[in-house]
């Protein structure tokens, strides 16, 4: 999986006016900056878009303070195909229950338009994403991506746990 484009709205430290991050011509990236300025949030946005999981325990904790909705859209390449995953989440004031939305699209042959390949349910769509990527969230964070403060999780796991992850 190669990330190509990332768009965030009201996600962690990013508000609704965050610029789109175009990664198309970037081969290696170094994220640097002051603490609390959103470096890890960009990586969390990618994992949340793809798997609905990030370092926060609850989805509500990912919404920028004072907002009621968030959205992340990630374009990525996998096996020569360009995909777009869009994940949104909103909460109603005073209700507590959230409303999640997950959409998956694949680009046309010339990459000019996208057509939906979203499943009938969120679970079906999530399964398609896992199938496209050939990995789930746990495999990703233990092999291809080291979360902040969690770099030794895989190496400290028991052999049976490492085998289950892989």
Question: pLDDT value at position 6?
Answer: 98
CA-CA distance, 166 to 136, in Å (whole number)? 10
CB-count burial class (<10 Å; 0-12, 13-18, 19+) for 48: buried
- pTM to 2 decimals? 0.85
List alpha helices for 3-152, DSSP H. Answer: 39-51, 122-133, 137-143
Classify residue 149 by its DSSP letter. T
User: How many whole angstroms from its chain centre is CA 120?
Assistant: 20
- pLDDT over threshold 70, residue 121: yes
Domains of the chain: 2-134 (3.40.50.300), 136-166 (no CATH)
What pLDDT, in 10s, does the model give residues 65-96? 999 999 999 999 999 999 999 999 999 766 66
């Amino acid at each position: 999986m190669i990330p190509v484009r990332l768009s965030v709205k009201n996600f962690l430290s990013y508000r609704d006016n965050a610029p789109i991050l175009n990664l198309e011509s970037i081969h290696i990236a170094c994220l640097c900056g002051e603490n609390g300025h959103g470096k890890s949030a960009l990586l969390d946005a990618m994992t949340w878009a793809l798997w609905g999981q990030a370092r926060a325990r609850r989805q509500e904790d990912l919404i920028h303070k004072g907002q009621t909705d968030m959205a992340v859209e990630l374009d990525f390449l996998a096996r020569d195909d360009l995909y777009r995953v869009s994940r949104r989440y909103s909460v109603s004031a005073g209700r507590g229950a959230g409303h999640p939305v997950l959409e998956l699209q694949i680009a046309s042959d010339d990459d000019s338009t996208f057509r939906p390949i979203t499943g009938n349910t969120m679970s079906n769509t999530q399964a398609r994403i896992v199938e496209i990527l050939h990995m789930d969230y746990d495999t990703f964070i233990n092999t291809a991506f080291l979360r902040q403060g969690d770099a030794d999780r895989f190496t400290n796991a028991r052999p049976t746990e490492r085998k289950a992850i892989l």
